[in-house]
Amino acid sequence: PSLRKRESQGPLSARPSLAGAGRKIAATTHLKGSISARSAGPEPQVQAARDRGPLTSARAEAAQGRSQLTTPSESELSGPLLSPGTFQAAGADRRVDSEEDQSWRRESVATEVGSGPPVVDALSQALELELSKGGESLLRRLADVSSINLELRRQIEMQSQEISDLKESRAEEEQVRQLDALALERRLRLQASDAEARLQAEIDECRERAQQDEQRQRGLEGERALREGERDEARARIVDLEARLVASVAVAAEASYLASQGIGDRSVPPVAALPPPVAVLLPQAVPAATGPAAEPAASPQFCPPRQAALEMELHLVRSRFARETSMREATERRAAASEQEKQRLRAELEQSLAEVQRLRRELGRQSEQVGYGQELCSDLQLRLKQQQAAAEQQQAAAEQRLLKERGKFEAVNRLEAVLPRHLLIKALA
């Protein structure tokens, strides 16, 4: 039926059949040439690959066999009759011819291969042997790489564990330092507050005592002023009484003298004629009398009652003056004692103020120590953060190296079928 179809299509339809026949002839010729080349011996490329290594030579021979078994190119099979217009005009017949050509080609290839020399079987056996050796070496290399990978993982895990332990120890040390610094600061603050409270209480007590002493001193000064006023008043009264007494004594003496001597005699009586108290009080008031007139004047009958009353009053004034004098002396002694107590309290106050200043300086020094401890703690925290950052960077670098090694390992596993392992390792190093 195909022949009748070709005859009905005309002379142009016979060209595809001629093209198919030419293609069959070219394929048969190419197969015979490849088989003869295999029987003649390996090509130089295959021989060079065998010199490099068993696995590489087997791969080169397999690639050479595949290149020799490929179909010829379109330029070799088409010839001058094959053109796009011809194939477009006879599409259906070309498909039929192509199916026939393919079936015939398979039959011819099977016939040629089956009837070929035994070189192909030897090559296939050598290739299988080299492939088995390459597979064993690949398995050994994979086992080595897996062991190295496990060792790297173990080292990285140990490093990460050491880093975590170091972080925990540093955190514990930092916590202990912070607790010690806080306890020291709290203890210093308590000591400073206790000392300040104690000194404040002492200062308050000293101030209260000083105020009490000042009040007592003011009271004593007021009492002394009162006593001095009373003393001045008593002195003035004594002077007045003495003047009155002198006048009374003088009048009495004059009266007694006139009575004894006569009315017409106006001379002043001598002091010896006066009573003994008056003579003692007024030693220079009247000049001393001489003669027998002094004896009758010294008798008690010439001392009237008024003179005795004046003497009694004068005695009372003198006793009162003596009492006030003793009181004044006692007041002065108490004032001196209070002044000494005031000076003592002032000295204690100055000492307390000096102690307060010393404690303030001590508090300032302790505050400086606490500040230095805080600065040291902050410096240690900064160093710890820097060390943590460095440890994190080291861990990240280790992870990156691990990822890089894993990538190299995967790349070596992928490309080991193409190139030897040592070349891949050198290239990826």
Tokens of 28: 């048969």
pLDDT digits (tens, 9 = 90+) for 343-371: 888 888 888 888 888 888 888 888 888 88
The answer to whether residue 135 scores a pLDDT higher than 80 is: no
Supply angle C-alpha 292, 298, 300, rounded to 5. 140
DSSP H helices, 270-304, are 276-281, 294-297
The answer to whether residue 84 scores a pLDDT higher than 60 is: no
Instruction: Indicate the pLDDT class of residue 308, thresholds 50, 70 and 90.
Output: confident
Q: d(Cα 27, Cα 395) in Å, to the nearest integer? A: 64
Q: d(Cα 213, Cα 220) in Å, to the nearest integer? A: 10
For the ranges 42-51, 85-94, 330-339, the maximum mean pLDDT occurs at 330-339
Cα maximum dimension of the chain: 224
The phi and psi torsions of 419 (rounded to 5 degrees) equal -125, 160
This prediction's pTM: 0.29
Output the CA torsion 50→51→56→59 (10° steps). Answer: -20
- pLDDT on residue 30: 53
Q: d(Cα 409, Cα 424) in Å, to the nearest integer? A: 10
- pLDDT on residue 130: 79
For the chain, the domains span: 2-117, 194-373
pLDDT digits (tens, 9 = 90+) for 199-212: 788 888 878 887 88
Q: d(Cα 196, Cα 190) in Å, to the nearest integer? A: 10
